[in-house]
Amino acid sequence: MMCVAVSLTIVPSCKDDETEGENTTTNDNQGNKDENEKEENPGNDNTNNLDKITEDGVFAHITKDEMVLVEGGTYMMGAQDADPNSPNYEANDVYAYYESPVRKVTIPSFYIGKYEVTQDLWDFVMHYDGLAADGSKMEMVEETSLLDVMKDAQNVKIGANYPIGNVSHDDIVKFFIPRLNKITGKSYRLPSEAEWEYAARGGMKDEYTASLGVKGEMKIYSGSNNPSEIGWYVDGATKSEMHEGGKKSPNALGIYDMSGNMFEWCRGFSEYTETEFTDNADDTQWLGMVGVRGGAYIYAESYMRIAKRTAYTPNTKYFFIGFRLAHSVVSE
């Protein structure tokens, strides 16, 4: 984790009508890449307005190191029999029903943040009153710092690399992301639940996930079967409090804190069926709810399970719910 004023969660450069520049992954044949699929550029637009913002240090880390390309593939989504805390063992959990049946899901390639969105990034974007990437003037949204509100929350820490919390799904998709996209000229979004779970399982980098459960060992949590290796949660031995991102081990894709520390808002919430499907960033809000994933520092390790589902109305705010950003891979 970098030691700077602000840590970005994900930083692909993204223009829906034009993508050029350096890719996340490089190889000797990069110049011969299929013209039908162009991966996002990790921040080499360098428009005049972005240069000014970068000089302030806020977007100093718009680099490929702040994003992870999740290569597409097919996996089994949901609580599987090998999961010791599957619905069979959580009969009293109101959300256990929503973790089954296990279904086969195909995920197109996408980008997801290596870290959760930080407090400073949120504060900057919501208070920004300079020029947007298109040259238009922007006005700040918040008069009072959200960080001041968070100070009174339970065991919340304030600092550049701590994750943002106490933000609703509506706050994110109606205000923060549109503003971030306008400032940067990019097209960030939230991950769908299927994308989130696929990335948490390690995608095609994880043998069990890639083989549809035929080979390898299923990870109960994102990156390990030992929750203390990869996340922060209530374990009875350590103080339950928010932590900076990236202090535990990452999963197979190099993504941090997908289990523990903060619940993470997803794009939607859908009913599980046995029907196979391809996820294209589904934003269905089944029962008027939006999914949150990953557990939090004030909850037990059972909430950190990759398959664990919880949902809230989109206007809900809790200090232990944050988010990470995602972005599609552009195909032309």
Q: 183, 162, 193, 178: which is closest to 269 by C-alpha?
A: 193
Q: What is the pLDDT of residue 266?
A: 97
Q: How confident is the model at residue 27 (pLDDT cuts 50, 70, 90)?
A: very low
Identify the band that residue 10 occupies on the pLDDT scale cut at 50, 70 and 90: very low
For residues 256 and 250, the answer to whether their CB atoms sit within 8 Å is: yes
Helix (H) or strand (E) holding 277: strand 277-278
pLDDT at 19: 35
Is 247 or 83 the better-scoring residue by pLDDT? 247
Q: Where are the domains of the chain?
A: 30-328
Task: Find, among 5, 61, 16, the residue nearest to 38 by Cα.
Answer: 16
pLDDT level of residue 21 (50, 70, 90 thresholds)? very low
Query: Model confidence over 213-245: pLDDT tens digits?
Result: 889 888 999 999 999 999 999 986 666 889 999
Residue 154: pLDDT band by 50, 70, 90 thresholds?
low
Higher pLDDT, 274 or 197: 197
Q: How many Å apart are CA 273 and CA 171, to the nearest integer? A: 30
Confidence of residue 177 (pLDDT cuts 50, 70, 90): very high
* Helical (H) or strand (E) element with 312: strand 310-312
Tokens 């046995």, residue located: 274
Q: Determine the pLDDT at residue 199.
A: 97
Q: Count Cβ atoms below 10 Å from residue 35 Cβ, excluding itself.
A: 7
**Statement: residue 280 has pLDDT above 90:** no
| pLDDT tens sequence across 48-86 | 344 445 445 555 444 445 789 999 999 999 887 655 555
Q: Name the average pLDDT for the chain.
A: 77
Q: Confirm if 201 and 211 have CB atoms less than 8 A apart.
A: no
Percent of the chain with pLDDT strictly greater than 70 = 69
CATH architecture of 30-328: Alpha-Beta Complex (3.90)
What confidence tens digit (pLDDT) does each residue in 297-308 have? 999 998 999 999
> Dihedrals φ, ψ of 290, to 5°?
-125, 135
- What mean pLDDT do residues 179-192 have? 91
Report H helices in the chain: 48-55, 119-127, 146-150, 169-171, 177-184, 193-200, 207-210, 227-230
In sequence order, what E strands does 235-294 have?
Answer: 263-265, 277-278, 290-293
Q: Would you state the structure tokens that stand for residue 276, as one six-digit string? A: 């196979």
pLDDT value, residue 246: 93
Give the global pTM. Answer: 0.79
- Six-digit token string for 202: 């390690």
- Looking at residue 270, its pLDDT comes to 81
pLDDT at 13 over 50: no
Q: Which residue has the higher pLDDT, 191 or 125?
A: 191
